[in-house]
A and B are shown apart, each in its own frame.
Chain A
Amino acid sequence: MSNKTIITSMLTADTFGVVSCLYELGGLIVMHDASGCNSTYTTHDEPRWGIKKSDVYISALTELDAISGNDMKLIDDVVEVSKNLNPKFIMICTTPIPIMVGFDHSAVAKIIEEKTGIRTYCVNTTGMEDYTVGIEKGYDVIFDLMRSEESFKCSPLQMSDSKEGSQCSPLRMSDNKDGTKCSPLQMSDKKEGSQCSPLQMSDKKEGSQCSPLQMSDSKEGSPLRCNIIGLTPLDYYYNVEDIKLKNDLKKFYDINVSLTVGCDYEDIYKIKNANKNIVVSKSGIKFAEKLKKELGIDYDIGIFIKNSFISVKNEILDINNINNNKDKILYGEEDYDIIIINEIVKALCIKKYLYENKNLKAKVLYNYSEIEILDMFKERLPKAVIADGLYEPICKNTKFINFPHVAFSGRIYNGVRKTVDDIVDEL
């Protein structure tokens, strides 16, 4: 894979994916970095910054601390700040220099957890992988919080270690409003009250294009509660695409939890109350799989275009079977009319819609460099390209449709505010 950009941009990094995923959940999130990560993330990748408060900081790593292995500086700073801010959890995500000097993620997390009594995670983001890897790691944390909070809170050892009862504070206990104190195992055993059993859900043909309407019909009028999984401002323009997505879903579902735009820490414990997960980006698939395995909640992958739910579960399965290289994806017909470059689930949905409704064949690209894209155009020039506006300079002699992707161009196209419905109308 070419690692160069000549005149275009690149996808944002794993470190920022983690932060974006966990932004609203009340944790203390520390990017272990010298400087730059905080301004980059909060400027380009986080439209909620300055609007919705979140404890996102950098460690301000120095050359001396990095070389001398002075992790205690980080530990002490995190412990001190945690005392004042009382976060729900602590997340440290790393960047290239800690990776280079062999930073001991698990030891640092353990020490901080022991000192604060607050559940602490330290994920080994490298700053060299794309953001979807980071979002997946963020979901791993959510999954762990969801599963283990109860046992963690009630661990006698941690209780005695914890200062001022922070772990089992009345606030945190009472935060769990729906009284769901049973473990994930108990939940999966529990049938009563669930709107739709895992068995019923799995009876559905996997990946079939059943619409949410059909699903709700099958429940004889009982409301279906869905979680949205894989929603971040990196893939869905904040306050534009996320609103559309939710409005579309609300026509068929009660939205249980929206992970992770428009949710808070307490929502983590409501995840289990859903009877369907709708995965809207590649980053959420692994988490949805885990929820299916642990809680029996079935999932579909897709979004709504023009009021119809477009499921791309089969296509994702296809891609997983075809692609050995997980970093980048190339999917679709060789005799394509259209090239689509965007978040993979969104792009696949557009592709499917265009084929079924406009008889246009499209090829979906993910994480291809501009050099590779230009080489592809030499082989076959598409009639149109749907991509982020920063690709436009390399898409000559073809129709270009700007579909901004925050993970690629940050806030540059803030004013464009298009949804998938607008995009398919342009063809």
Chain B
Amino acid sequence: MLKKVYDKKNIEDACVYIKDAVFNKMFSQSLEYMTPARGTFNIAHTGMLIPESHEIFVCASNCLRGVILTAGELHRMNRFSTIEVKQNMLYDGSMEYEIIDGVKDIINKLDYKPRAILLYFSCLHHFMGIDIDMIMQNIKNENEGIDFIDCYMNPTLRKSGITPDENMRMRLYRLLKEQELMDNVVAFVGNDLKMDEDCELVKILEKNNMEIKEIHRCKNYDMYKSLSKAKYYIVTYNSAKKAGKDMEERLNGKSIYMSNSFDYDEIEKELGEMCEILNIKNFDKEYYENMRKKCDEKLKSLKELIGDRKISVDYTFTNRILSFCKLLLNRGFNVDRIYADSFIEDDKEDFYYIKNKYGNVKIYKTSSPYMQYIDDLEEKENYLAIGQKAAFFTKTNNFVNVIEGGGFFGFSGILKIIELMEDAYKNEKEMLSLISIKGLGCEECIL
């Protein structure tokens, strides 16, 4: 049973002490609230990562609204079109033909010829059971010279089976065709943000003369297509695991998952395992000892600087949120609030570690309908927030504005985050305006 933190308001589904929580059974489902924090990518952002591609979304106007303005805010309306579903299309049998003709019409009216088109279907089509294979085949036959891939905006399925986010990261690489694999080529797969070039992962690969491919590094569609030459697919984002496995099955390379941990041993272990699989030389022990020492020293200085200032962290900052919290808690930081509706399996061990050792840490359900009021019940304190939602909920301008790990990885990633925390502690940001930007960092990643 969950302990009510706010008895006076009878709000039992917004907050729980971790000592009273069961892993991923913290909260029941209810109506959902949405914070104004918008930094994470949506499926329209992700699709834009393919250079020289064009997105066509087919849906009702209320669903199109969000993605069309995503493109607008990215200043990429020229890479985005829509076919709006009208009510008659639901029952008069015209849906398939509206889509086929619509795509053809859009291609004819574009002032450029895209190399690839991502055609997004939606919940409506899933419920109607339309013949997507027939549509895709027809479109491919009629438009030679353009690659097509069906993508899905199916939020109705987000709690059953493969999530739209996982699916999108998978579809992003479905345009790649099987070709001869090259032993010395590695592809980073499924990250929204470009992998930080200073991280150990990149450094090891470079040191061993491995060629690194990544969708963010592709200047054109041909470069994107060459991703399938990679023999190894390195996945560092949990939602991209299925994408890596899918590539393994279709393109015959090897998928390697590294969970983007903040635990020194785990980082070293994962890097070591990668080196073994790739049969390349790892950094020596001295390097890692040095990096561990550096991280400890930096964390110590940071702790001296910020003292017992309360810290809040949210899940949009990194998918290994509990690993990160554990790192801080074990070094005396006052991590007080974690904002997450659920955690990934990789964090399960860390969950029970924190539960047993730091049981008074509170977990908040970010989508709870009570979240916009819960802060009124709390004592007003000045938090240092890591992540946009944590910043919004704790109403602080001292925050680290990073999403999805910021492309950081390993020890170097920890060092960079420490620097960002130090900066956030010393300097305020305009929180509300910064967190309202959709797809933080996306515009710099796309053509």
The chain A residues found within 8 Å of chain B, CB to CB, are: 3-16, 30, 33-40, 42-45, 49-50, 53, 55, 57-64, 66-67, 77-78, 80-81, 83-85, 95-97, 99-101, 126-130, 371, 390, 393, 409-412
Does B32 contact A3, Cβ atoms closer than 8 Å?
no
Does A77 contact B31, Cβ atoms closer than 8 Å?
yes
For B102, give its contact among A4, A10, A43 (CB under 8 Å): A4
Does A35 contact B62, Cβ atoms closer than 8 Å?
no
Hey, which chain B residues are within 8 Å of A96, CB to CB?
A: 59-60, 62-63, 85, 90, 123-124
Does B369 contact A55, Cβ atoms closer than 8 Å?
yes
> Which of chain B's residues has its CB closest to A127's CB?
B62
> Which of chain A's residues has its CB closest to B73's CB?
A412
Any A CB within 8 A of the CB of B285: no
Least distance between B57 CB and chain A CB atoms (Å): 10
Hey, which chain A residues are within 8 Å of B69, CB to CB?
A: 9, 40, 43-44, 409-410, 412
Known interface pairs A3-B83, A49-B36, A63-B160; A37-B62 also in contact (CB < 8 Å): yes
Best-surrounded residue of A14, A50, A67, A78 (most CB of chain B within 10 A): A50
Chain B positions 330 through 372: 1 when the CB is less than 8 Å from some CB of chain A, otherwise 0: 0000000000000000000000000000000000000101101
> Which of chain B's residues has its CB closest to A125's CB?
B62
Does A34 contact B85, Cβ atoms closer than 8 Å?
no
Does A393 contact B85, Cβ atoms closer than 8 Å?
no
For B156, give its contact among A44, A61, A393 (CB under 8 Å): A61
The stretch from B105-113, B180-188, B211-219, B410-418 touching chain A is B105-113
Does B10 contact A7, Cβ atoms closer than 8 Å?
no
Hey, which chain B residues are within 8 Å of A62, CB to CB?
A: 156, 158-160
Chain B positions 119 through 130: 1 when the CB is less than 8 Å from some CB of chain A, otherwise 0: 000011011100
Any A CB within 8 A of the CB of B87: yes
For B62, give its contact among A9, A40, A57, A63 (CB under 8 Å): A40
Known interface pairs A12-B61, A63-B156; A43-B31 also in contact (CB < 8 Å): no
Any A CB within 8 A of the CB of B53: no
Count chain B residues whose beta carbon lies closer than 8 angstroms to a beta carbon of A: 62
Any A CB within 8 A of the CB of B242: no
Cα of A37 to Cα of B72 in the assembled complex, Å: 18
Does B156 contact A5, Cβ atoms closer than 8 Å?
no
Does B61 contact A10, Cβ atoms closer than 8 Å?
yes
Does A6 contact B110, Cβ atoms closer than 8 Å?
yes
> Which of chain B's residues has its CB closest to A409's CB?
B72
Does A34 contact B72, Cβ atoms closer than 8 Å?
no
Any A CB within 8 A of the CB of B279: no
The chain B residues found within 8 Å of chain A, CB to CB, are: 9-11, 29-36, 38, 59-66, 68-69, 72-73, 77-78, 80-87, 90, 98, 102, 105-106, 109-110, 123-124, 126-128, 153, 155-160, 367, 369-370, 372-373, 392, 432, 436, 438
Cα of A210 to Cα of B369 in the assembled complex, Å: 48
> Which of chain A's residues has its CB closest to B9's CB?
A84
Hey, which chain B residues are within 8 Å of A45, CB to CB?
A: 65
Least distance between A288 CB and chain B CB atoms (Å): 26
Known interface pairs A13-B60, A127-B61; A97-B156 also in contact (CB < 8 Å): yes
Does B61 contact A58, Cβ atoms closer than 8 Å?
no
Cα of A300 to Cα of B32 in the assembled complex, Å: 40
Least distance between B154 CB and chain A CB atoms (Å): 8
Known interface pairs A4-B105, A39-B38, A81-B30; A412-B65 also in contact (CB < 8 Å): no
Does B438 contact A64, Cβ atoms closer than 8 Å?
no
Hey, which chain B residues are within 8 Å of A99, CB to CB?
A: 87, 90
Does B86 contact A3, Cβ atoms closer than 8 Å?
yes
Of the A-B pairs whose beta carbons lie under 8 Å apart in the complex, a sample of 9, sorted by A's number, is A5-B68, A9-B72, A9-B77, A10-B68, A36-B66, A37-B62, A38-B32, A83-B10, A96-B123
Does B60 contact A95, Cβ atoms closer than 8 Å?
yes
Cα of A30 to Cα of B32 in the assembled complex, Å: 9
Hey, which chain B residues are within 8 Å of A130, CB to CB?
A: 61
Of all A-B residue pairs in the complex, the 8 with the closest CB atoms, nearest first, are A40-B66, A127-B62, A13-B62, A50-B36, A35-B155, A57-B31, A34-B155, A34-B156
